[in-house]
Amino acid sequence: MLDIIEVAMEKGRNEGEETGYKNGEETGYKKGSKDGKLTGFQELLMGLLMAKFSPIPRDIAVQIRKIQEADVLQSLIHAIMKCEDINDFETVLNRV
């Protein structure tokens, strides 16, 4: 009888480990994907700012690196086209 309980416990432990591994892998993938997307948008935003308004004040770069919402970064990317100078962009940035 003890062998059956041990086998059942081992099977349950293995299934739990497998489920935990799959869940952890999926969570890690989602976080990595989100982080990569944010970094990509931040880099694109900085590149566009450099191309249009170089040099970029350090405080603006720091503010951009702190933004953790992709939709906010996308709206800032679009806003660059409407800005006449870096001060216009900074005004937009300070509103988000």
**Tens digits of residue pLDDT in 8-32:** 667 777 888 878 877 787 777 777 7
Measured from the Cβ of residue 64, the count of other Cβ atoms closer than 10 Å reads 19
Compute the 3-state secondary structure of the chain and give helix, strand, coil in percent, each to the nearest 5: 85, 0, 15
Could you give the 3-state DSSP secondary structure of residue 43? Answer: helix
CA–CA distance, 49 with 87 (Å, rounded to integer): 12
Percentage of residues in the chain having pLDDT higher than 70: 92
pLDDT of residue 2: 59
Q: Which of 86, 93, 92 is nearest to 62 (CA)?
A: 93
47 pLDDT higher than 80: yes
Number of domains the chain contains: 1
1 pLDDT higher than 60: no
pTM: 0.72
Percentage of residues in the chain having pLDDT higher than 90: 59
Give the domain extent around 82: 2-95
